[in-house]
Structure 1
């Protein structure tokens, strides 16, 4: 088989995956749920968590769309070995449809490249925003959850994604600077969301489950006492040499090293967040993709 035939066959297979996700009916009364992944600083493994948590949830039968919305360090494509030709900016400009830019990544998971389109959201007029939201509504029928990999820190864009989403996953490590900056994100979220933020804390690169739980307890206690919010504990992801090896392979950890300690940790986090572990309640239905983009536009400062 020639290289062209192989490439065309791969593209046809990818298209069939997206169409299959779209054809599967949404549950009655069920709205797409949005989850923004935030961190206080860079280098804590936020994007790795976003990618592999998406894979783990997809492995549990959830239909996931992963939006790469990190303006400064967008690297979901690198972690997944993808080469996007188009991104959200092409949809905003009316040059492409959403289905044209989605990149399948295994069963039940597609990546939505954000690129400069995330920045252009803030410059949309009301008519253009309504047109974009109408085009993005296709996600409502093809996904159960939209996971957003945001930028690190307390920049307006990142916090806007957090407040627009149904829930937030806050990633930290045991390092003191990471803990301090994670608390800074919680403070910004509590202020922007008037104390109504639904936050789950995950501790990455921990030496042991006990260390991760201790770090999370300190953050949660301070947030409850001083910010009036009560984050949940999503679990601990252990430090693992398999993680940098997977990055160098440009292959997600769960695909490259499915039996590694970190992969097992990530699947446990996914199960806990889906209500499949520790008798935790399953997450409530989301408010849908249209509501998400309306709230996001307001947070970014919609141009009227």
Structure 2
């Protein structure tokens, strides 16, 4: 059975960005396994479950009544209970300033070496988007190590919306070069960023605009031989440049999931560019 590891933020995921891929996986009979940074149960961002919510940059609702119902049912089900904890699974890189740093680094790499074996049981990795990943996924060192393990295994990775930031920041500590250097990707474009109202679950805080424009990061991370595709004005934007499948935002969730299925079952290596 094909087995997919799905990473969710504990600060809120966008309902459709989990629902879309999951529907594609369920239709094919895949087994989906969920993980969060510390093992807390993930929940959907309230606006993503409200078909009456008007997305400010687009000036319209981005959630259909049907998707809102399905996403709410998923969020309220027991399916997302008891996720894997990245904190308990993957070691934390020690500071150089800690006592006996050489021995600590040796222990870190010994423990990390088992990760390549651990990912053998999975066929693909998914990083779900929304505003939550800005907080606990984008610069999560444990997630970066997991992403690198999937890359070494040549297994596909689907990242959606602001979840794509984790790909840009996942880098080998030896050369610090982005793993998407020379690749074609999409992700949340500047035109779709909020000017105000970026919020998270569990904290009473309006960040205003996102703390960084993901588009600019992706443009820099892909380098002169790669490319960021915003596809502004087009209803969907999904890019496949093996092993990466990237989806721009909410409307791309179902297409992103179906393209990952094509990667797994039909050997798709390029799409959208």
Q: TM-score scaled by structure 2?
A: 0.42
Q: TM-score scaled by structure 1?
A: 0.39
Q: Comparing both chains, which one has the higher relative contact order based on Cα–Cα distances under 8 Å and sequence gaps of 6 or more? A: 1
